[in-house]
Amino acid sequence: MPLLKSWVASANDATHPFPLNNLPYGVFALSDEEPRCGVAIGDMILDVTAAEAEGVITLTDEPLFDLPFWNPLMEQGPAVWAALRDRLTALLSEGATEQEVVEPLLVPQSAVVMHMPFAVSEYTDFYAGRHHAFNVGSMFRDPENALPPNWLHIPIGYNGRASSVVVSGTDIRRPWGQLKSPDQDKPAFLPSRRFDFELEMGAIVGTPSDGPISVQQADDHIFGYVLLNDWSARDIQAWEYQPLGPFQAKATATSISPWIVTKPALEPFRCDTPEREFELLDHLKDCGPMLYDLSLEVTLAPEGQAATTITRTNYSEMYYSAAQQLAHHASSGCPMNTGDLLGSGTISGPTRDTRGSLLELSWGGKDPLSLETGESRSFLEDGDTLTLSGSAQGDGYTIGFGTCHGTVLPALEDPLKP
């Protein structure tokens, strides 16, 4: 599909992340106004809340955009999702007859603050990147036994904290936790000394389910995708994870990008999952291309200094797609809700410069990563800013997600003081 031309000039730039082909959904606010729903088009935002109030957009008898999150639209299902996209495309296309009506509803992106784009119902994070799982298993076991026996058969995951999901730009406080090194007799309650990022994609459930669903149904239920940073305290995790897996190590925060890129925008970039060593069981079998060719990048900027690109990889490296993760999640009869967020798991490639966490990039701290500033990093230091970005390259256009960034703040001096 080639670039769709818009009367918003900036949307026709081949390198701009928000062309008419994209139309991602977010929640924004001007300094003196309440947050409202908006759609990115070039360097502008179409105020969808105002457009609905003025009758420019009418999809149902009841308003869908009078609340500052996209869940009401998500609850309507694929037919209404498609109707909105068609209406937005008609309003913003080059030669649109209603340009004079729509133009006053545009707001410069540079003038707004972005908010959480949807209300997170529940959050599940997966461990579905093979290179990441192999690297971690090699570090803590050995390469011959790097993958657990179940890993090539099911997407492994854990239930995280929806309350800790925050929008890009939110500062992240270094957590305190219970730590114990192998050379210590007993644990201590201290600030994390091995704080890390994880490069992931997040899939957002639109259509709810109340029972098992197929992989194809699961794919149809997904509303869209965001960039996701699963902040992780590796030292807290090392002490707590046996026998039930991550808990407080992953509860500090999970950052997401402010724009939801919907599935129609990503359709031209579908690609297959990797070749399988074992045939998957019926409820997980691939039913077509379920991954996306999305280039991903992470930069690290020490406080007051320039950023260094520390990894480049691709979402196509995943072993299990979001649809397979969702189908497996629902296979026990587990109800899935509108607004559920599924983290992909860390996205790493086969070489050092494609690894999606500092744990891997520094190989557990044994081989620190050199930055262009002359510094090195084994794990994150106070003042570090991590920025995730992602995009797909089309025929004369780019589909982007914006950025997902956060800065590490020092730990509280005494977390037990009221």
Quote the Cα angle for 307-357-148, to 5°. 170
Q: DSSP labels for 217-265?
A: HHHHHEEEEEEEEE-EEHHHHHHH-TTT--SGGG-S-EEE-S-BEEHHH
Collapse the DSSP code of 53 into the 3-class scheme (helix H, G, I; strand E, B; otherwise coil) and give the result: helix
Pair 296, 341: CB distance under 8 Å: no
Cβ-count burial 364-383 (b if 16+ within 10 Å, e if not): beeeebebeeeeebbbbeee
Both tokens of residue 332?
């026990």
Q: DSSP labels for 317-341?
A: GBSS-HHHHHHHHHTTS--B-TT-E
Both tokens of residue 14?
């081949």
Give the span between the Cα atoms of 336 and 132, in whole angstroms.
27
| Residue 64 CA neighbour count, 13 Å, CB half | 23
**Residue 132 appears among annotated catalytic residues:** yes
Burial class (CB in 10 A: 0-12, 13-18, 19+), 75: middle
Collapse the DSSP code of 160 into the 3-class scheme (helix H, G, I; strand E, B; otherwise coil) and give the result: coil
The Cβ of residue 276 has, within 10 Å, a number of other Cβ atoms equal to 13
Burial class (CB in 10 A: 0-12, 13-18, 19+), 305: middle
44-47 vs 199-205, strand pairing mode: unpaired
- Helix, strand, coil share (%) of the chain residues, nearest 5: 25, 30, 45
Residue 403 β-bridge partners: 389
- Spell out where 345-384 has E strands: 369-370, 376-377
Quote the radius of gyration of the chain (alpha carbons, Å): 22
Catalytic residue among 16, 115, 131, 132: 132
Q: What is the dihedral of CA 85, 83, 67, 255, to 10 degrees?
A: -40
Question: Catalytic residue positions?
Answer: 132
